[in-house]
Amino acid sequence: MSSSALEVSTRRGATSFFEVARLMLARDIRLALRKRGQLVQPLAFFAIVTTLFPLGISPELSRLREVAPGVLWVAALLSSLLALEFLFRDDAQDGTLEQHVLSGQSLTWMLFAKTAAHWVLTGVPLALMAPLAGMSLGVPASSIGGIILSVALGTVALSLIGSVGAALTLGVKRNGALLSLLTLPLSMPVLIFGARATELAIKGEGFAAPLYLLGAIAVLGITLAPLATAMAVRINME
Amino acid sequence: MAWTWFHRLGSPPYIYGLAMRLTPWFAWTAGLLIVGGTFGGLVLAPPDYQQGDDYRIIYVHAPSAWMSLMVYSTMAVSAAVGLIWRIKVAHAAAASCAPVGASFTFVALVTGSLWGQRMWGTYWEWDPRLTFELILLFQYLGYMGLRSAIEDTQRADRASAVLAVVGIVNVPIIHYSVLWWNSLHQAPSVMQLAKPTIPPSMLVPLLMMFLGFTLLFVALLLVRVRAEILNRERSASWIREAVT
């Protein structure tokens, strides 16, 4: 366990709301940077999945360009699903999560910070990598901004939805298939609006409308998902 | 004192007896309504001027689609009641809802696909309502999957209750996103049911089927809740008296 997590539990009462979030963010990011291999896995997975489509469909860029939004988003959805395993697994195994529950700090807030760290570690790299994968599918350079924005915003919602699923399956061994069964149906609106925004960006049209809808889902997720995640973690820690 | 009736609803023996007494009433009424509605819909109602006899599948399809949502809401509400007031019977009710709801959703999907074959010429069209039903079926499967994956009953109850509540928040979002997704990508659907008036000879059997399906669900729920209570309280002493 890292020193910052200890700080959270020992300086109980003295630690302010934002201090808790800062410590949690710093701890999770520091720990993740020590395990770079784990961090790269979802990105490699994303690259492999986007490689599968040209092999499966056709190498013609004109045909690939048409399916590029769907390919990018399905790949992003699947790799964020893969990354979810790292969200709570280690902390649940070594008992850190239990300490978080017992720390006296707001568990909802702590898990929100944890999910935010997870988004920084998985969502942001995915968003930065999406245009690269897009280029290989014949996407014009002018759409890079739109792709980055939509994937960055969409992964906020995906991380939050995923945190609920990951917390619910904490007590289940070998939970990969179950986790996808729980989170994918809930993620479908994100896929729909994300792919739409990407498609409009590729066509060079205004993509603000689906982006607003993605933002709305993200805001709703920020408001409600941490509550459900905290409840699910408590249930599995009882 | 006036609240004692409410407290009794949380007691497994009371609910067990109540469910046993109420089941025949709901089951018989449902049976009569469904038989009457089927006869009215398949025999008495006139053929549609556009769809001929094909439209008659609506007498099964529409009530099943209605039940798929209605059961999900019932499941989410009883899950929330169980989660908030820690009432075991409410959790048992939520657990009993899921397979019934999944079955109704499955029937709605199959009948919708058969209808689509006649109307659109294909068994599957990415129609928003059918797509929505499909996602709803996945949500039911996820709920049942989570419940069966957790061995401890109490933990399974509470974890799946959280999932049901999260799911019901998502239902309207999925509904509208699928609707907009479809209207962005496809020409307006071939099927247009928005007719100005439905003659009573078509409407009455349909309403009978709606009511019949709803009561059938209540009857099934009562039977399943009893089975669920028997399973959960199998070591309780009152069970021995109730069963023998």
pLDDT digits (tens, 9 = 90+) for B26-66: 999 999 999 999 999 888 888 877 777 888 888 999 999 99
Q: Residue B150's domain spans which residues?
A: 26-39+52-243
Q: Are the beta carbons of A238 and B155 separated by less than 8 Å?
A: yes
Is the minimum CB–CB distance between A186 and chain B shorter than 8 Å? yes
Quick one: angle between helices A36-56 and A61-83, nearest 10?
A: 150
- What pTM was computed for the model? 0.89
**Which of A19, A39, A6, A216 has the alpha carbon at shortest distance from A120?**
A39
pLDDT in tens, B38-48: 999 888 888 87
| Spatial contact of A150 and A182, defined as CB atoms under 8 Å apart | no
Residues of A in contact with B158 (CB under 8 A): 235
In a domain, residue B20? The reply is no
DSSP, res B236: S
DSSP bridge pairs for B48: B52
Tell me how far apart the 2 most distant CA atoms of chain B are, in Å. Answer: 63
ipTM of the complex, rounded to two decimals? 0.87
Q: Which of A172, A175, A223 to mutate to test the interface with B (most CBs of B within 10 A)?
A: A172
How far apart are alpha carbons A81 and A78 in whole angstroms?
Answer: 5
Indicate the SS3 state at residue A171: coil
In a domain, residue B31? The reply is yes
Provide the residue count of chain A.
Answer: 238
Is the minimum CB–CB distance between A222 and chain B shorter than 8 Å? no
| Spatial contact of A156 and A216, defined as CB atoms under 8 Å apart | no
Give domain limits for chain A.
Answer: 3-237
Could you tell me the pLDDT band of residue A13, with boundaries at 50, 70 and 90?
low
A60: phi then psi, degrees, rounded to nearest 5 = -70, 125
Least CB–CB distance from B155: residue in A181, A217, A235: A235
In a domain, residue B1? The reply is no
pLDDT in tens, B153-171: 999 999 999 999 999 998 9
Number of domains in chain B: 1
In a domain, residue B14? The reply is no
> Percentages helix, strand, coil for chain A, rounded to the nearest 5?
85, 0, 15
Q: What is the mean pLDDT of chain B?
A: 87
